[in-house]
Structure 1
């Protein structure tokens, strides 16, 4: 599992000035709020290291931070002025097609009340339905380093919060606790 969780919360504290040596940027290029960078995968790796998150590079070359309940990908798409950075989370919990109307109601509520991640359903060929969350920004002309760092941290935190929220909203957290069995009551995982 990536990240540090304590009693159902995920805390990330990051000071952008403490992140070392970002490659691929022109140190002379600055804006009114500080350094302007064109983010790349190395920058995201350094940020994930600072956040103490485990990550891997998948077969398509995207960074992924795996948790037990979901995987979060950090993807760069497009080129030049059209380049986009996306944080996309694939939630592992499978639902049936019959659950889709209730899922739509729940994620519509989330999408109305929050800025990110925007969540949608995906129906697989086997008929299982999974949730996907996504946030993205255009980076082709450069972005403030501080904005990029705070957005990425916020998107990761919100992806984790969504997983907890949807479990609580659908009553799945109680079901999972009840399925553990009575003999496990005093045991904790380390």
Structure 2
């Protein structure tokens, strides 16, 4: 099956011509379909040691994971933000991510406190795919989730006044650093 490039919002660069028309009816997406979508979005991606597909940016990495079986299978787009915050900053951080979560649909962002007291953020969006989804819905949701993950990082920098800590304009595509 192939993705109709006209259904992909412009995320960067040109879009290739479709190989064939979209399939009729619902599909069960898989990792190969996500790889094809990332290729068409011109985003570098790798498969990690656990078999999960990831797109690395300079300050975060986004994973595209399939979990569960049969009708309960879930597609998850999970972004791990690398910027570490101190445990003392956690109350302010929680205020900021609560505001994001109340104002946006995705990604929903939460904090994770490591044993050493460092706090990192994780964003996540999920879709139940076990009974099938339309290709157009899958593509538009996945692209929107990736774009929102990038936007969250920019928004967080602005909200916390971290712009001085960031080199460049933050518009890096995956692959601008070496994963």
Q: Do these two structures clear the TM 0.5 threshold for a shared fold by scoring above it?
A: yes
Give the alignment's Cα RMSD to 1 decimal: 2.5
Match of 1:154 in 2: 144
Match of 2:134 in 1: 144
Matched, 1:71 2:61: yes
Say whether the 8 Å CA contact 2:12–2:42 is kept in structure 1. no
In the superposition, the TM-score normalised over structure 1's length comes to 0.77
Whole-Å separation in 2 of the counterparts to 1:174 and 1:78: 42
| Residue-by-residue CA offset, 1:54-75 (whole Å, 9 max, x unaligned) | 0000011000000001000000
Higher relative contact order (CA 8 A, sep 6+): 2
Match of 2:86 in 1: 96
Match of 1:124 in 2: 114
TM alignment of 1:4-153, pairs within 5 A = 12=11, 18-20=17-19, 27=23, 30=24, 35-153=25-143
Say whether the 8 Å CA contact 1:16–1:146 is kept in structure 2. no
How many residue pairs were aligned? 159
Whole-Å separation in 2 of the counterparts to 1:19 and 1:122: 41
Unaligned runs of 5+ in 2: 1-9, 168-175
In the superposition, the TM-score normalised over structure 2's length comes to 0.82
Residue range with higher mean Cα deviation, 88-97 or 11-20: 11-20
Larger of the two Rg values belongs to structure: 1
Whole-Å separation in 2 of the counterparts to 1:108 and 1:46: 34
Unaligned runs of 5+ in 1: 1-10, 178-188
Whole-Å separation in 2 of the counterparts to 1:167 and 1:95: 12
Whole-Å separation in 2 of the counterparts to 1:82 and 1:106: 33
Cα 1:175–1:49 change in 2 (3 A) is: closer
The partner residue of 2:159 within 163, 166, 169 is: 169
| Residue-by-residue CA offset, 1:16-35 (whole Å, 9 max, x unaligned) | 9955469xx9x5xx3xxxx4
Whole-Å separation in 2 of the counterparts to 1:163 and 1:78: 29
